Structures are given as structure tokens and as C-alpha cells.
Chains A and B, each alone.
Chain A
Amino acid sequence: MLFNSFTFLIFFPVVYALYLATQRRLALQNAVLLAASYVFYGWWSLKFLGLLLVTTGLDWTLGRALGRIDDPRARKTFVTISICMNLGLLGFFKYHDFFARALVDALARVGLTLSVPVLHVVLPVGISFYTFQSMGYVIDVYRRTSPPVEKLFDFAVYVAFFPQLVAGPIERAMHMVPQLTRPRVITPALVHEGLQLMLWGFFKKLVVADNLARIADPIFSAPRSSHGVDLLIGALAFTGQIYGDFSGYTDIARGVARMLGIELMVNFRLPYFARNPRDFWARWHVSLSTWLRDYLYVPLGGNRRRPGRMLVNLLITMLLGGLWHGAAWNFVIWGFFHGSWLVVHRLATSGEDRAPRSALTQAGAIAGTFALTVVGWVIFRAKTGADIAWILTHWGFATSASSSGLAWRLFVFWLPLVIVDAAQAASGDLLRLAKLRLAPRALVYASLFCGILAFGSRAGREFIYFQF
């Protein structure tokens, strides 16, 4: 089920009414949440709901076993089973065909013929998110940083919680499970913030992202038909689209969760105001970057090894982070690009982030980081290496007959993002809108609502991160 669907408009009020009606009975309220989550997921595919149940059951069993035994070898065996099972599922559904093709191509280059079946496996929605969340829990229990969840029921709600099930944020058990096992109080502040997050999230998705997609899609589907400023506009449109789309989804998810009295982690902290690549990754898809840091980069040795090894660790982490986004070479190249950028930054700054001295150098740092981020998004979005090369070597300032129209459209749909993000950046407050005085605040909300009605896409476009 999509947030931006008519079905969800009916689904959520019904679920919310049942949720409020069961406010005094926690177990019943969690049952409502679990049932709603399975309906939400099963709406897309009942078949793959089974996969979610398998992951849930196995990781809960392993987590409980880890909580009861002290033998290090047995503990290691259990955590290895969980990692193998989760990565095995992910590997099969997400990467089988990719690696099969890559192997056949690589062997063909050295004159060997190999027949590996390409299975055309359908990727279960959200598998990258819920396997990481579930696997992260087992690793936490193994490390004894999180206690095992006693009830399968509670764990099932943690894994399947519908607002964040299919596109995150990737939650940690130690943050979320306690919220599920104690009675929740729905305060006016939570409802207020939840509504605001949902409204801004829907606006970012339906108005900003989906309209910018109308600029980016034709340019990226046939980049050789465009040149100069049109390619630049296409790249900037996708830069806004992916941010509006993913942060919009996150805001809706966090808003819905907050209405239910549950806090989800902040996943975006104004990433286009980052001053360097390290700063960017502290702001973009925070739940993934911190997951990769805690469960991949740190176990690889992190910063504790000699500098050369540390840089290799960084590169490996980003490469795999790129691959997490999808089974395609451009994601690998994108990961490599960001990894290399982080390595260069670390070498240049000795790992210390000093705040730029003047406003001008700060602005320069933000602009430079933004420009390289746009290059990264070109790699991310383009279909082939040749397309990437074409766009990066042919963009510029030469105009065409359609340039002014495209530029105006780009400006119009980027503008709300710029205004709101700038206000949030200036105040350092991601809930800046909610702090406006009543009249201007209501005017902003009414404008956002009218904007969604008038300019929001009605095509029910999927969120980009559903495919990851």
C-alpha cells in the first residue's frame, strides 16, 4: 500500500480509530498495530508476507537463544546463522540475477562460456529495510547492547511496524522496542507534530518530487537528446526529486508513527546544507549510514586501525552501501564515488571537521558539496555508464528552445524545498514550521494543503526507495 494512495486515506483513519479505541489495553493495541502492518504489507503481496514472517520468527528465536546462553562459540554460531539467513534472503531476491549476469559476462571476456540461470526474481518491497532492522537486532543482542525481546508478538510489531516497514527509517531495537512494550500516551504535541510532518511529507512527495520527476525522467531516459543546460536541469531536477521523495516518505512515516505515539529516528538533517561528504552522510539517510557504521565499518576495524586500512574500510563500507541501493553497476560506482570522496576529504582534513571561518567560505563549502552531490546523483540515476559519461561531459550552459520552460518548472518546484530547508537551517530546528505564530502557520499549512490538491501528482507514483 502506498502512502500516496486513496486506499491509505481510508486505511489510516480506520486503523487510527481502532488504535485509539484500544488505548487502555496495550496488548490489544499492539495487535491492532500488527494486523494493520500485515494488511499494509500484504496489500502489495501476500506471498512475500510469508518472507517477512520467516525473518521475524527466526530472528526472534535466535535473539532469545542469544539472551539465554553464554557460551561464546554457540553465541557466535547463532549470530552467524542470523546474518547468513538475512543476507542470504537479501542476496537471493536482490542480487542473484545481477551476480549471475556479471559472472557470465566476466567469464565470456576471458573466452569461457558458463550457463547460470537468470531467475527474474521479483524483489519483495522493503526487504532491504526490514532484513537490516531484524539482523541489527540479533547483532545487538549478541553484543549485549540490547536485551532480547521476550514476546514474539512485540518483536513482530517492531519488524513490521507499517509506517517504516517498506522504506525505513531502519530502526534500532533499543530505541523502538521499549516504546512498544509500555503504554503509549498520545499527547497534543505528538499529534500536532505528526500532522505537520505528514503534511510537509506529502507535499514534498506529491508536489516537489513527482513534478521534478516529470523533468528528470525524460532527460535521463534519453540523455543524448539533450545537452548543455537541459542536462544540468535534469540533474538538478533529480537531485530535488530524490530528496523530496525519500525525505517526504520519511516525514510521512514519522508523522504517522508520532500520531500513534511512537517516535522514529530522524533520517534527514538538511543534507543539501552539508559542508563536506562526511557532513553529508551525517545528514542523508541517517538510519542507513549509522547502521553501516555500526554493523560494517566498526567491525571492519573502523578508525582503530592504521590510516591506510581505515581508508580501505571506508571505501568498502561505501561500496557496499552503494550496492545496498540496488543490484546495478551504477549503484556500485555511486558508492565508490562517495567512498573516494570521503577518503580524499579525510586525507585532506586529517579527519577533523573544522567549521569554515567566514560565511563566504561556509557558503562555498555548501555549494561545493552540493555540486559533487549532484554529480553523484547523475551516477545514481543514469541507466548506463555511457549515459553517465554523456551527461557529465555534455552538461553546461548552452540553451535550447525548451530550456527556459524547464528552468522555470525546476525553479517553481524546488522553491518550497529551498525556503523551508533554509528556514530550518537558519534556526537549526527541523520543526521550524510548527514554531510559527498561529496565523502564518495556518496560512502555510493551508497553502501546502491547497498545493497538494492542485499540483500534487495523481498518478500514484511509487516512492523511489521502495525499489531498494
Chain B
Amino acid sequence: MHALPTEIRAGSSWRDVWREVALTVALVVAINALVDRYLDIHPTNRAKAVVQAKWDLVRAPPKDLGWLVVGDSSANQGVDTRMLAAATHEAAINVATVGDFGVVGDAWMLQALLAAGGHPKRIVMVHVADVWVRGLEVLERVVTRLRPPVDVARFEPPLAWSMRQKLHLAWNHHFVNRFPFYTQNDSLTWLLLNPGKILHPPQVRLDPSGFESEPETSPELFAQDTPNLRKFMKGSSAELTAHQLAALETVARLTRRLHATLYIRPSPLWEGFAGDPAVQPFVNHVADQLEHFAATHASVVLLTRDPFWLPATQLQNADHATEEGARRFTQSTLDEILHRERRAP
């Protein structure tokens, strides 16, 4: 029988061990820094890229800002700022990000924009109905992923984080997020499985004013998303969560201080949900609460109670409009606002 491989032992000193550990740790830190830099420049995660680009926009707002669009991904893909700007010959930016930031994210961005000298005349807020009821734990998941890191504690409204959440946020903010190898594992796995994209990373189709256009429908995504949303709305309470309401108060107060108007518009939604007993009561209850809020705040207008119903052919999933859907939604929103402004004394 030929010789089997074996463990050939070699001596080692404590000095060798420490040198090896120290050099390994240094290399891990260095590799992480390189990857961190690469992923900041070429984010493969669509949501991360969108959030990063939108924060860049609020930090350097245009002068003569006629329109500020805030909200979730349905607004990011649904409100075409180019149409708004063309209609009023004023600058328009869309800083809507993703649903998990909720209205709290809108409030933060508005404050960041004001701090950077921005002064919008109109604020258009668009959210899917389910975003209004999302809890703090959802926000906790995304808040420390802001790059470059944002000290959200300096913004209003103050949030009632539990001690566990505070510790988790601090741990993520100060330590875990420094390790993209850990926090951006999905992006890295995607790159590993698509090595050809390392030199030519995918680009988000984001207009300089912040509108993300999506020309194609995605039947697969649509089929996956619609039952999930329906299931959520059927099984969840439609009460606005305290922190979303507090954030809405903050946005309303800042709007009033700016002598601007906050226009709230329910998002585009698949027309198959219209009248659906699992969806419509949820949507109606959210609308009731927003209507009450608008009625008690002079600077706030609820444009419509119902979502903007779109056919599946103009949607990417249940609430993300394609370019064509976005055109229709933006035009409808624009018409409503301009009509109201013309009627106003």
C-alpha cells in the first residue's frame, strides 16, 4: 500500500502565532476596506444603490425646488420628476427610497434637505398602503445600512427604540457595517456567481433628478408579489403605527414652516385589487386615517383616497409602475395638484 498523507508537525513559537494572527487580521481589514470601496462605487444591490443616490440628492439640492417627491419604491418608480419639472418650469427631485424606511425616512430626508439649503414649494408623498403600518423592527433592519452612515439620532421624530434595538443599532453602526463581507454578502455572492459583472456592474436606471424608470413588466415578479401583498393586507391591522404618524407630523410641521404644501397620494396598485375584500378594507382604513390627518393640518392635502389602479401590463410587480404606468400616474397626480392650486385663493 502506498503511503497515506499525514500531518507533518512543525514547531512554532508564540511570536509566530501572534505575527500570523496580526497579519491575518490586518489583511481581513484591508480586504474589507477595498470591497467596501468597490461596493460603494458599484453597488450591485438595487435598493442600496437607490438609497445611496437619493441621499446624495438631498445633500446637494437644486435651487428653485418646485417639487420634492418622497416615499417608497412605488414613488421612486412611479413619479416622473421630468414631467413635473416640465409642467411648471421648476426643479423637481424624487428622493423616494424603499418601503422599509417608511414615513420616518421621508422626515429624515426632508430635514437633511433643509439643512443643505433646500426649499421645496410642494412635497409629494407616495406610499403603498402597507408601508403606513410597518413597525420599528422593519426600520431597524435598514437604518444602519445608510452609506455613508447617517446619524439619524439628530433627526425628528424621536423614535421609541427598545434597549435591545438601541444596542443592535449601535453594534451594527459601529462594527458590523464596517464589514461588507458580512453585511453585503448577497451582493458578493452575486458577484461570485457572475464574475463577468465585476468589471461591468449593473446600473440602476436612475435619472439625475432621482426618478427610476423601468421599461419592462416582470410577470414572474408580479406573480410572486401580488399574493404576498394581498396576504399581508388580509392578515394585518391597518392602524398607522405610532412612529409613522409621528414622522408624518414632523413632515407636516416642516411643510408649514416652509409655507409649502404636502400632497399625499396613495401609490399605484394593481387594478385586480380594486374591490378585493382582502385588500379594499385595509386600503380604506388607511385612507380614513390619512383623510382625518389632512383635515386637521392646513398644509396637508390628501389627493385621493384610493390607490391609482393600473393594469398588470403597466406594472412590474403589484405596486411598481413601468415607464408607461409612471407616466399615467404622474400625469394624474400633476393634474390633481395643479387643479387644486389653480382653485386655491
Q: Which residues of A contact B (CB under 8 A)?
A: 187-189, 191-193, 195, 266, 269-270, 273, 275, 278-279, 282-283, 353, 355, 405, 408-409, 412, 424-425, 427-431, 434-435, 438-439, 441-443, 445-447, 449-450, 453-455, 458
Cβ contacts under 8 Å, B193 to chain A: 405, 408-409, 412
Given contacts A409-B193, A449-B28, contact A430 B23 (CB under 8 A): no
Find the residue from B5, B21, B193 having the highest chain A CB count within 10 A. B5
Selected from B8, B11, B19, B27, the residue in CB contact (under 8 A) with A431 is: B8
B3 within 8 A of A: yes
Q: Give the contacts of B167-206 with A (CB-CB under 8 A).
A: 179, 181-182, 184-185, 188-189, 192-193
A278–B2 alpha-carbon span in the complex (Å): 12
Cβ contacts under 8 Å, B192 to chain A: 412, 454-455
Interface CB pairs A-B, < 8 A, 6: A266-B7, A279-B1, A353-B2, A428-B5, A446-B25, A450-B32
Cβ contacts under 8 Å, A450 to chain B: 28, 31-32, 35, 181
Cβ contacts under 8 Å, B296 to chain A: none
CB-based contact B23/A438 at 8 Å: yes
A428–B16 alpha-carbon span in the complex (Å): 24
CB-based contact B16/A430 at 8 Å: no
Cβ contacts under 8 Å, B31 to chain A: 446-447, 450
Nearest chain A residue, comparing its CB with the CB of B28: A446
A412–B191 alpha-carbon span in the complex (Å): 12
Cβ contacts under 8 Å, A412 to chain B: 192-193
Nearest chain B residue, comparing its CB with the CB of A197: B7
B24 within 8 A of A: yes
Selected from B16, B27, B32, B179, the residue in CB contact (under 8 A) with A188 is: B16
Shortest 9 CB-CB contacts between residues of A and residues of B: A446-B27, A442-B23, A453-B181, A189-B12, A454-B188, A429-B8, A454-B181, A445-B24, A192-B12
Find the residue from B9, B24, B192 having the highest chain A CB count within 10 A. B24
**Binary interface encoding of chain B residues 9-40 relative to chain A, with 1 for a CB under 8 A from any of its CBs, else 0:** 11111101101110111011001100100000
Query: Nearest-CB distance from B177 to chain A (Å)?
Result: 13
Query: Nearest-CB distance from A137 to chain B (Å)?
Result: 25
A408–B181 alpha-carbon span in the complex (Å): 21
A282–B24 alpha-carbon span in the complex (Å): 34
CB-based contact B6/A192 at 8 Å: no
Cβ contacts under 8 Å, A195 to chain B: 17, 21
Cβ contacts under 8 Å, A435 to chain B: 8, 10
Query: Nearest-CB distance from B33 to chain A (Å)?
Result: 12
CB-based contact B28/A441 at 8 Å: no
Query: Nearest-CB distance from A360 to chain B (Å)?
Result: 16
Nearest chain B residue, comparing its CB with the CB of A266: B7
Q: Which residues of B contact A (CB under 8 A)?
A: 1-14, 16-17, 19-21, 23-25, 27-28, 31-32, 35, 179, 181-182, 184-185, 188-189, 192-193
In the complex, given contacts A195-B17, A454-B181, what are 4 additional A-B residue pairs having Cβ atoms less than 8 angstroms apart?
A: A193-B7, A269-B5, A445-B27, A446-B27
A275–B1 alpha-carbon span in the complex (Å): 10
Query: Nearest-CB distance from A62 to chain B (Å)?
Result: 34
Selected from A192, A273, A408, the residue in CB contact (under 8 A) with B20 is: A192
A355–B27 alpha-carbon span in the complex (Å): 43
CB-based contact B3/A428 at 8 Å: yes
Main secondary structure of the interface of B (DSSP, over half): helix
Cβ contacts under 8 Å, B182 to chain A: 453-454
A431–B35 alpha-carbon span in the complex (Å): 30
Query: Nearest-CB distance from B324 to chain A (Å)?
Result: 29
Given contacts A424-B5, A442-B27, contact A189 B185 (CB under 8 A): no
Cβ contacts under 8 Å, B1 to chain A: 278-279, 282, 353
Query: Nearest-CB distance from B259 to chain A (Å)?
Result: 50
Nearest chain A residue, comparing its CB with the CB of B13: A188
Query: Nearest-CB distance from B133 to chain A (Å)?
Result: 28
A191–B13 alpha-carbon span in the complex (Å): 10
CB-based contact A189/B9 at 8 Å: yes
Cβ contacts under 8 Å, A405 to chain B: 193
Cβ contacts under 8 Å, B27 to chain A: 442-443, 445-446
CB-based contact B10/A189 at 8 Å: yes
Nearest chain B residue, comparing its CB with the CB of A425: B5
Nearest chain A residue, comparing its CB with the CB of B182: A453
CB-based contact B2/A441 at 8 Å: no
A278–B9 alpha-carbon span in the complex (Å): 27
Query: Nearest-CB distance from A406 to chain B (Å)?
Result: 11
CB-based contact A429/B6 at 8 Å: yes
Cβ contacts under 8 Å, B24 to chain A: 442, 445-446, 449
A95–B64 alpha-carbon span in the complex (Å): 79
Cβ contacts under 8 Å, B25 to chain A: 446
CB-based contact A453/B179 at 8 Å: yes
Query: Nearest-CB distance from A401 to chain B (Å)?
Result: 14
Given contacts A412-B193, A438-B19, contact A454 B10 (CB under 8 A): no
A321–B23 alpha-carbon span in the complex (Å): 45
Nearest chain A residue, comparing its CB with the CB of B8: A429
Selected from B20, B32, B179, B188, the residue in CB contact (under 8 A) with A441 is: B20
